[in-house]
Structure 1
Amino acid sequence: MRNRSSERSDPQRISMELRGQILQGVFPLGARMPTEDEMCRQFGASRYSVREAMRVLTEEGLVARRPRIGTIVAATKPSEHFVQSVPSMQKLLNYPEGTVRKTIGTGYVEANAELAALLKCPVGERRFRIRALRYAVGSSVPLCYTDIYILPQYATIVNHPHHEFTLVSDQIREVFGERAEKTVIEISSSSIKRNIAKLLDVKPATPSLTVTRRYANARGEEFETTVAVHPASRYTYSFEFKRQP
């Protein structure tokens, strides 16, 4: 049987106590946390246990390491984190229930060299762009920023009655009969640009998970390209595939 001392020195117990102290205001925003040595003495714990506990709090966004200062309180509540578990390849194409895409801007754009490389189209070709933020229902913290580029003839899709709750590709199929016969998904790591960082309420250059989806019709024409930028601390893709009997 574990005694009280060993339980208190467990990394999970240490992180729980420190988290509670942060949430209760014992350590206010910006306050310097005790040093590693101080926490080892306070909890009667090893350096490993203390480091593991602080790692958990860092991943939650509650504390952050600052050069020449130490570890400080970076937030007074854990950052929101959304996990999408994908049981099949088809499910990978969609976000789960419980999220909503809020449009923050629309308009026509002409592809410059950078955008043309992304869309794999000639420089100067036009696209209709939908800018949006995705949220978990009931939350004010955006999970990701999204740019949706579609062919100009589909621009009126923004008037679809369920535009913010369903995939744009599904809406295009429903309204225009254009079906995605092939979808390519690219997942990469990147850093968040300054203009997008402001919308996501994170610092510029914050690590991100960028998911690009390309929808092509039977003729091989790419009629929609969607680029979603997720702060790394707020989103996880979890894949689960089962062998069919």
Structure 2
Amino acid sequence: MYTNHEIDRDAFIRGNQPRYVQLANTLINEITDGKYQIGDLLPTEQDMCVQFGVSRFTVREALKKLVQSGLVTRQPGVGSKVISTQMTTAYSQNIMDISDFYRYATDTSLVIQSSEIITITAEQADMLEGSAGETWLFLIGNRFSEKSELPISYTEIWINPAFRAIKGIMGKRSEAIHSEIEKQFGETVVKVEQTITATSLTKKQANALQVKSGSPSLCIARKYRNRKGELIELSISHHPETRFSYNSVFVKNNIPA
């Protein structure tokens, strides 16, 4: 599973999107608007390269998005067949640089349900790179995509004591918490460290996500750092299976001809 989020067509056309995302958006529109019916085959990779003036890599990445959205299936020797004209309710997140973390926040909404100042323990201090006795702001909330009533994640957020007086963060938010820290305190996030692990949901997490306790989940921990390398925010999100997928693109530079 990838962080499997719902693919929002409108989100594809916001900002400077990669060519494969633009192509995927076009194909999704054509399928959902009825140009292609269930059982139809999409043009071949070679035909798409010619039609859209793009590389085969771009076409293949775009088709991956359609497979993840539940619209097509790909079979060797057959091609890309339309299996649905409605996208699934899973949300698919693409990360290529820090700006994509901001886009993720605007493509979904985070509902902060609790806020508490916590005096951290030695164990928590190790996780937060601080010292026992420090007072961090601790937030709990659920994240939703636009086309699903069920939450796509149960999220815990720890905010450095220097920013614990942050204002206006309760309730439904369509902007990243770290973006609000930047605005209110003049900070700049220059680095995000991400760790992805497979876990099982606790009873509390499962209840919030409306699934069974012990269900498998994808846990994504992100550390947001400023120019000094200091940890200003730690977010830990638990995503139940089938509601979130996660895509990354890695490019090798200076490949010899």
Q: Contact 2:112 / 2:172 at 8 angstroms: preserved in 1?
A: no
Alignment of 1:106 with 2:115, yes or no, is yes
Which residue of structure 2 aligns with residue 119 of structure 1? 128
- The TM-score with structure 2 as length reference comes to 0.58
Which residue of structure 2 aligns with residue 55 of structure 1? none
Determine which of 72, 93, 100 is the counterpart of 1:84.
93
Deviation at 1:239, TM superposition (A): 1.9
Determine which of 189, 196, 206 is the counterpart of 1:197.
206
Alignment of 1:239 with 2:248, yes or no, is yes
Distance in 1, matches of 2:106 and 2:168, equals 21
Instruction: Work out which of the two has the higher radius of gyration on C-alpha atoms and give 1 or 2.
Output: 1
Matches within 5 A, 1:21-36: none
Which residue of structure 2 aligns with residue 173 of structure 1? 182
Alignment of 1:229 with 2:235, yes or no, is no
Count of residue pairs brought into register by the alignment: 170
Which residue of structure 2 aligns with residue 42 of structure 1? none
Deviates more, 1:111-120 or 1:206-215: 111-120
Q: Contact 1:79 / 1:234 at 8 angstroms: preserved in 2?
A: no
What is the letter of the counterpart of residue 231 of structure 1? P
Which stretches in structure 1 are left out of the alignment for 5+ residues? 1-11, 14-59, 61-77
Which stretches in structure 2 are left out of the alignment for 5+ residues? 1-37, 40-69, 71-86
Percent identity between the aligned chains? 25
Deviation at 1:162, TM superposition (A): 10
- Secondary structure of 2:166's match? helix
- Secondary structure of 1:89's match? coil
Q: Contact 1:209 / 1:230 at 8 angstroms: preserved in 2?
A: yes
Higher relative contact order (CA 8 A, sep 6+): 2
Which residue of structure 1 aligns with residue 21 of structure 2? none
What is the letter of the counterpart of residue 132 of structure 1? G
Question: CA distance change for structure 1 residues 81 and 138 in 2, over 3 Å: closer, same or farther?
Answer: closer
Distance in 2, matches of 1:237 and 1:91, equals 16
Determine which of 144, 151, 167 is the counterpart of 2:153.
144
